[in-house]
Chain A
Amino acid sequence: MRDFSYLRATSADDAQKAALQAGAVLLAGGTTLLDLAKCGVTEPETVVDITHLSSLDGIAVDEGGATIGALARMSEVADHREIKAAFPAVSESLSLAASAQLRNMATMGGNLLQRTRCSYFREPGVFAACNKRNPGSGCSAIGGVTRNHAILGTSDACIATYPGDLAVALVAFDATVEIGSRRVPVDDFFLLPGNTPDRETVLEKGDIITAISIPASAAARNSTYLKVRDRQSYEFAAASAAVGLEFEADGRTVRDIRVALGGVATKPWRARAVEQALVGKALDAETVEKASSLAMEGAVSQGGNHYKIELAPRVITRAIEQLGLKVGGLA
């Protein structure tokens, strides 16, 4: 890891000013920043420690929804009683991520900003070609080992998967990212790789995420996060789904349904086609299965990740069935 200078921000203004300097990066939990610095992917000149700013770590929940400070730790949010009640999928997406140690360190803002990345990206010394690290240099993954790469939202420039869990739950329930007074829906916050995979979000140099807000809804209250992976725990998703479900008064017709996918796309992936196919329908196994398969429209296999095209719809189906069974709507 190349050396850098260390600056501890004592106020939000302080942090803002420091973050604008050339070569400066913010340090929150540090779990991905230090990891990538050790790999030689990131070479910051100044590390601006924002963990001593206590104004950004609150969690507030009321009937309207939740506002979670950017510095709230994953473990605090996962175990928060009101978050668990109003947004079970959000709590589960956090408690199924990384490990207990990492969740005590990592913050909500840092979690969103973990890079959309692949193992070639992490090895600059071995694989020089990576459009994300070095725009225009090519992509080492295309034609290589692609088991963990994306099937949705890819481009000729980059096929890396957005690996985070939290953002998948957030995009399902229309959360917004607060950047000072600016508010950006999570769906718009993340960018598709296109020809500029080095640019992953709308953040500009010096921008600081201050909070994440999630509006309350019946679907969010009755929601789940299902994560399927190569080992049972402490692993990124092979495919995951955040699903929320609200029935009409008859208890079987879908009034509102939210579906988002993780582990398969270049950004947290809202599966609106699946939602549209199910609103107004009574759920039965066949209807759910058919609707889930719509999420794979436009999916592109790279070979090694072909299995995801079959896996992802099954994960959606299982998540909907689990929720439907729980509230008794599934015929």
Chain B
Amino acid sequence: MTRTIHLSLDINGRRHELDVEPRVTLLDALREHLALTGTKKGCDQGQCGACTCHVDGKRVLSCLTLAAQVEGREITTIEGITGENGDLHPVQAAFIEHDAFQCGYCTPGQIMSAVACIREGHAGSDEEIREYMSGNLCRCGAYNSIVAAVREAAQATVKEKMEVA
């Protein structure tokens, strides 16, 4: 007999209700149950970063997170980072500007990771960006452009903050 549990998940500012087996990961809940397929499954074992999402504003791997574990937390996926009028997030824009992808499979994870990396204050130099983005692999090897995109988005964020202050 398959047991299911009822979950209410807060994703991108919306409440979603679903019934799943307890073993269902956040990644599978998003992709298979909620049709939020922007989050990608690469390795399903914590080794590639393609499934990166934010939980309470922090980047995590959705393939090693149980959906049940994040009930009551605020979940953000790649679908949730664009502006209200559909404007690209500055990190998304920088990825396009710098051609920071080839096949694009790793890209949602890269972008979610980069948004958090900048927010954490870990994008101060190319070296720091490489270290703190190392959890996101790119089989196409677009690394140089990814670093350039993150650097530019980080600088733009700093500039914006200084202008506000």
A residues engaging B (CB < 8 A)?
Answer: 1-6, 8, 27, 29-31, 34-35, 37-39, 47, 49, 51-52, 75, 98-102, 104-105, 232-234
- The residue on A at minimum CB distance from B56 is A104
Residue interface bits B45-72, CB-to-A below 8 A is 1, else 0: 1100100100000111100111011001
Judging by beta carbons under 8 Å apart, are A31 and B66 in contact? no
- The residue on B at minimum CB distance from A234 is B134
- The residue on A at minimum CB distance from B61 is A101
**Other contacts beyond A6-B68, A49-B69, A101-B60: 15, CB < 8 A:** A4-B22, A6-B5, A6-B66, A27-B69, A29-B64, A31-B46, A35-B45, A37-B23, A49-B66, A49-B68, A100-B120, A100-B134, A102-B46, A102-B61, A102-B64
Judging by beta carbons under 8 Å apart, are A4 and B23 in contact? yes
A-B interface contact total, Cβ < 8 Å: 85
For residue A102, give the distance in angstroms from its CB to the closest CB of chain B. Answer: 6
For residue B26, give the distance in angstroms from its CB to the closest CB of chain A. Answer: 10
Bound CA–CA A8/B72 (angstroms): 12
Q: Is B126 on the interface with A (CB-CB < 8 A)?
A: no
Residue interface bits B131-158, CB-to-A below 8 A is 1, else 0: 1111110000000000000000000000
Judging by beta carbons under 8 Å apart, are B22 and A101 in contact? no
Judging by beta carbons under 8 Å apart, are B3 and A105 in contact? no
Give the interface centre of B44, B120, B134 by most chain A CB atoms within 10 Å.
B134
Partner of A6, one of B22, B25, B45, B60: B22
Bound CA–CA A98/B47 (angstroms): 9
Partner of A101, one of B5, B21, B52: B52
Judging by beta carbons under 8 Å apart, are A35 and B23 in contact? no
Q: Is B122 on the interface with A (CB-CB < 8 A)?
A: yes
Bound CA–CA A52/B61 (angstroms): 18
Bound CA–CA A4/B22 (angstroms): 6
11 contacts between A and B (CB under 8 A): A30-B65, A31-B61, A47-B66, A49-B69, A51-B69, A100-B113, A100-B116, A100-B133, A101-B135, A102-B46, A105-B60
